Amino acid sequence: MSASRILVVRLGAMGDIIHALPAAAALKRAFPGCTLSWAVEPRWRDLLDGGGLADALIEIDRRSYSSVAHGWQRLRSIAFDLAIDFQGLIKSAAVTRAARAAERIGFERAQLREAAAGVFYTRRFHCPAAHVVDRNLQLAAHLGASTAPVEFPLPPGRAEGDLPAGPFILASPLAGWKSKQWPAGNWSALARLIHSESPYQLVLNGPPAAAQYASTIPGAAVHISSVAGLIHATRLASAVVGLDSGPLHLAASLSRPALALFGPTDPSRNGPYGPTVRCLRAPEAETTYARGSEIHPSMHALTPASVFRALMDLLEPCR
């Protein structure tokens, strides 16, 4: 098939958008000269704007009627040849339908997060890969793209806030689910170990909403930033340590040495994708994907000492 105007739909969140980047890059390579537009929530635009992969961003904020109306107007003003939904929700499938593309592509119903989304597609495909990145690549391959991961550009980010003059380890201590988080006391103990037994300093990054939580963790510097500031800080960090959340996926995509702390979720399905990331998970951890209101026991099982040793092992080739 041929396509000169392609719409990629992956509205959010950070890690999910990053997981769709290799497939989008593969599509752009498969259709030389095409114009690739990306439908995205405004808060994640810094992951795409200025990176060179998306030729245009169509921002859709469901909390704002004017944003939705403007986004719908833009979608309907472009004669897309192809619209691909990498999200698999009714809200994302509806965006592909609003685009009125000649072909609207998505996963088969059994693989959709909301099965009803499938009614909006003209074609559905089974993509059996275990990891989300490979599954997205398989979906793109049904349209003629390669399944081999290709390089994709990310924006440079921008300097925000203060960062240490010396080497530092960047940490993002919060995750979308409480059950995936690591206790605050463990972050403090890790900061003390890093300070006393290595040349590095622990820096806690988060959005403005995380400032109060980060300030309760003694021994670590605090870096509050937007997504663009996180990109900039990640590029500068000696290593990154974090949870099953977007900042670890960003570190993987930037090929930074990183340590991912996993508990109730399975890193083989949606963990950081790339050779520079090591996952640390207790052997007895059970995969539940339960969005609990308490930190999961398997996260408590990861001690500050074990995380510190894993970080130093990760950084050894760089020292």
Q: What is the CATH number of domain 168-318?
A: 3.40.50.2000
Q: What is the pLDDT of residue 120?
A: 96
What is the value of pTM for the model shown?
Answer: 0.94
Rounded distance between C-alpha atoms, residue 277 and residue 263, angstroms: 16
Q: What is the pLDDT of residue 153?
A: 84
Rounded distance between C-alpha atoms, residue 141 and residue 66, angstroms: 36
Q: Along the chain (319 residues), what's the average pLDDT of each consecutive run of 10 residues?
A: 91 95 95 97 96 95 93 94 97 94 95 94 96 96 89 92 95 92 97 97 95 92 97 98 95 96 92 94 92 93 98 85
Q: What is the pLDDT of residue 317?
A: 74
Same fold for the domain at 5-141 and the one at 168-318?
yes
Are 248 and 274 spatial neighbours (Cβ–Cβ below 8 Å)?
no
Name the residue ranges covered by the structural domains of the chain: 5-141, 168-318
Could you give phi then psi for residue 104, rounded to 5 degrees? -120, 115
Q: What is the pLDDT of residue 247?
A: 96
Are 204 and 236 spatial neighbours (Cβ–Cβ below 8 Å)?
no
Nearest to 181 by CA among 214, 215, 227: 214
Nearest to 261 by CA among 308, 302, 228, 220: 302
Are 102 and 80 spatial neighbours (Cβ–Cβ below 8 Å)?
yes
Q: What is the 3-state secondary structure (H, E, C) of the chain?
A: CCCCEEEEECCCCHHHHHHHHHHHHHHHHHCCCCEEEEEECHHHHHHCCCCCCCCEEEECCCCCHHHHHHHHHHHHHCCCCEEEECCCCHHHHHHHHHCCCCEEEEECHHHCCCHHHHHHCCEEECCCCCCHHHHHHHHHHCCCCCCCCCCCCCCCCCCCCCCCCCCEEEEECCCCCHHHCCCHHHHHHHHHHHHHHCCCEEEEEECHHHHHHHHCCCCCEEEECCHHHHHHHHHHCCEEEEECCHHHHHHHHCCCCEEEEECCCCHHHHCCCCCCEEEEECCCCCCCCCCCCCCCHHHHCCCHHHHHHHHHHHHHHHC
The domain 5-141 is placed in CATH, from the list 1.20.120.80, 3.40.50.2000, 1.10.1200.10, 2.40.30.60, at 3.40.50.2000
Nearest to 121 by CA among 148, 143, 151: 143
